[in-house]
Amino acid sequence: MTGETYDVRPTPPDSTQWFDPRNPALWVFIALALPGLWLLSGSVRIAFTAYPSAATAAAVLFTAYTVPFIIVLRRLDYLEREPPVLTAMAFGWGGVVASMAAVDGGHAVQGMLAKLVSPTFAATWGPAIGPPAIEEVLKALGVVLVVLLARAHVNSTVDGFVYGAFVGLGFQVVEDFVYAVGATAWSRGGDDIAPVISTFIVRGFLTGLWSHTVFTALAGGGIAYAVVNTRLPMARRFGVAAGAVGAAIAAHALWNSPLLRDGFGFGGIGIVGALFIKGLPVFLLVWFLFSRAYRTEAAYYGEQLAQYDGTPLVRPGELTALLSYREREAARRHAQSLKGRKGTRAAQAVRRLQHLQTRLSVLSSRYPESPKWVLETLQNPPTHQWLQSERARLGGLAARRELPPARRREQLHRVAVQRCVVDLLAQRSRLEHLDLPVAVGTNQKRSPMAPWALGLAVLGVLVPGAGAFAIVAALMATRGHLPSDGLAVAAFAVGALTTTGWLLAFVLLRLGAG
């Protein structure tokens, strides 16, 4: 140990499950979620009855919209993943409790501004005052409730970003659905899906990246910082949490404000430019803060794994490759570059190996006896036969219930660590059979065409068809071997997403017209 300290607090070995009926936070969640669900289901039922096509289109589009967000959030939360049930509760808080509680509160603030200042002021500046303050506080409370429900699972600032993002995503998706169906109702053109498509393009593509998900991630990061850094003075912790929530409110207020709404007088292009000016800095700020928190977390978990460096569990170079998203992907791409089906199998094995390495790192942080258990397992020769029999033996041990609780808990921990080691050795053996002894990437020269492909892909958000050109450019940049260049992969993915979005919009508009 270096004696260095990190703002990471691993889940204690004796921590109870998050689902504890004696925890008042669980009952508060239920008490608020049930009426929220009742209100939301009433609105959704009316939407589907009055505008079945529009409501169905909105539900399908915005449900599909959440998928890439969830994939990205799970990838960002790679090292120490949050329990899916807790992230689902965070999503539910945002979509059900915060969104429903914000409706009347927001109207009330608007009304008070009209009375206390003037109706004109309320109409102009009300959206930049009431909703940001109310919504950001309500969403931040979702992260606070997760802390109260399962503080042991809020291990680092990164976790706060993740839970906050899930709360914000839930809020954003429900709000987008309501806005989309509301646009159809407001158009007074019957059950028309064109307003839904417009809402999807504007709120999904043009403004979706710097919306509630990012705002609440910022607030969540601040709250988690305060929760995790227990050795820091209370004033500083409280100040960071309050500052983060305040920054989320300020970012939201800037977004809702009438500033730059005229797009500098340059029409549609000017308005889109103004959207970027108001939103992009917030997104970059949150990305910067998240990256800092991620590096701290990576350093901590890297140190957990460093004690096994040089063993078959972690070969030289793999630790560095594991802790950085770019290097992780480079290692997978390098494995994928092997000829034929061998490449696919190698890439799968590298992915699995990296997952097991992070798991071993997290287990080591939770159970101080882990190194001893790991060494015990490593003393055996990792033959295929031994690995299989050991796996079966450990599986049987995990099921034993006749031991006293404390002994059983210790055994569960030991089995979890040793099983992880056995699985790791199995993947290592698999990789060695594929002539890939070390799971690291190589420094390949990047094609100068790849950045242009990515630029085209981003342009595809605004220009129909540009995404398709980006796909072609990405394939040309890599000469058909896409996995060899991360930038080309990104260009291909964004190009495919925008092309699919535009095609979907086109088909739905045609259907709507029919």
**Chain residues in the site for other proteins (CB under 8 A):** 1, 4-10, 22-25, 27-28, 31-32, 46, 49-51, 97, 100-102, 104-105, 107-112, 114-116, 119, 122-123, 134, 137-138, 141, 144-145, 147-148, 151, 185-186, 188-191, 227-228, 230-231, 300, 303-304, 364-365, 368
Smallest separation (angstroms) from other proteins to the CB of 141? 5
CB nearer to other proteins: pick between 22 and 341:
22
Residue 35 is encoded by which pair of tokens?
């009426």
Q: Residue type at 461?
A: V
Query: Which DSSP symbol is given to 453?
Result: H
Q: How far apart are CA 163 and CA 243, in angstroms?
A: 18
Smallest separation (angstroms) from other proteins to the CB of 215? 17
CB nearer to other proteins: pick between 235 and 399:
235
Contact 109, 176 (CB under 8 A): no
CB nearer to other proteins: pick between 109 and 271:
109
Start-to-end CA distance of the chain, whole Å, equals: 69
Where b means 16+ CB within 10 Å and e means fewer, 111-134 reads eebeeeeeeeebeebbbbbbbbbb
Smallest separation (angstroms) from other proteins to the CB of 302? 11
CB nearer to other proteins: pick between 168 and 486:
168
CB nearer to other proteins: pick between 293 and 457:
293
CB nearer to other proteins: pick between 48 and 452:
48
**39 contact partners, CB below 8 Å, separation of at least 6:** 100
Smallest separation (angstroms) from other proteins to the CB of 172? 19
Q: Give the orientation angle of helix 157-187 with respect to helix 99-116, to 10 degrees.
A: 70
Smallest separation (angstroms) from other proteins to the CB of 25? 4
Element (H, E) at 66: helix 52-76
Q: How far apart are CA 249 and CA 138, in angstroms?
A: 11
CB nearer to other proteins: pick between 75 and 292:
292
Smallest separation (angstroms) from other proteins to the CB of 111? 3
In the block, tokens 């206390």 appear at: 116
Smallest separation (angstroms) from other proteins to the CB of 299? 9
Residue 274 is encoded by which pair of tokens?
């103004």
